[in-house]
Amino acid sequence: MIRIVIADDHKIVTDGLRLLMQKELDADVIGVAENGLRAFDMVMRLQPDLLLTDLEMDGLDGLELVKKIRETNSATRIMVLSMHNDLHYVNKVLREGANGYLHKNADASILIEGIKRLIDGNQYIDPKISKKMLESYLKGENATDSRKYNLTKRELEIIKLLSQGHNSKKIGELLHISHHTIDSHRKNIHVKLGVKSTPELIRLAMEQQLISK
């Protein structure tokens, strides 16, 4: 069973999320916090599998909450739910250690899919926001940083698809090449960027503007 803590200062939101988690997932909402400080205390005490958190809260906002949790080396996966869809905010929360980012207007099915991806150890970003990343990439806004790391066009495509939560098998299907080839590309990407994991890769790619502004 997935153990979840929800952090949001609107009771109607937390009540709705609790019902959704219980109905659609094998989940137990073990804590609900109305502010960031209480959410941090709950995560430290309860060590949930997943934290669903808003960005704008009293006391300690979502960005600082993510940063503070990651400083403790907690294994709790973090999904940020926000009304902001600007890539600037996405970049910030991923850089601080969030594992996923969804707009609050996203369909419930997308939230459920995102949570499943996070629990499986993947990254997940709202598809509409991922589209903005792709548009940014296609406009050539990331050329300077991609050249700095000597990344190929194929490697940038793979980074983009990884940021959307796809695994090697799915990326292989989308690009019409074997997943073994994708795994080889991923190893090369890790070496070029000096990272050891996919979440670290995505955070660096966002920070260095490889897939977004």
pLDDT at 213 over 70: no
- The average pLDDT across 197-208 equals 85
- The average pLDDT across 189-213 equals 80
- The average pLDDT across 37-46 equals 97
CA distance 77 to 70: 10
- The average pLDDT across 142-170 equals 81
pLDDT at 109 over 70: yes
Neighbour tally for 88: CB within 10 Å: 9
pLDDT score for 133: 67
pLDDT score for 41: 97
The model's confidence at residue 144, banded by pLDDT at 50, 70 and 90, is very low
- The average pLDDT across 117-146 equals 74
> Which has more confidence, 200 or 77?
77
DSSP 152-207: -HHHHHHHHHHHTT--HHHHHHHHTS-HHHHHHHHHHHHHHHT-SSHHHHHHHHHH
pTM of the model: 0.67
Q: What is the pLDDT of residues 70-104, one digit of tens each?
A: 999 899 999 999 988 777 778 788 888 999 999 99
Give phi and psi for 151, each to the nearest 5: -85, 140
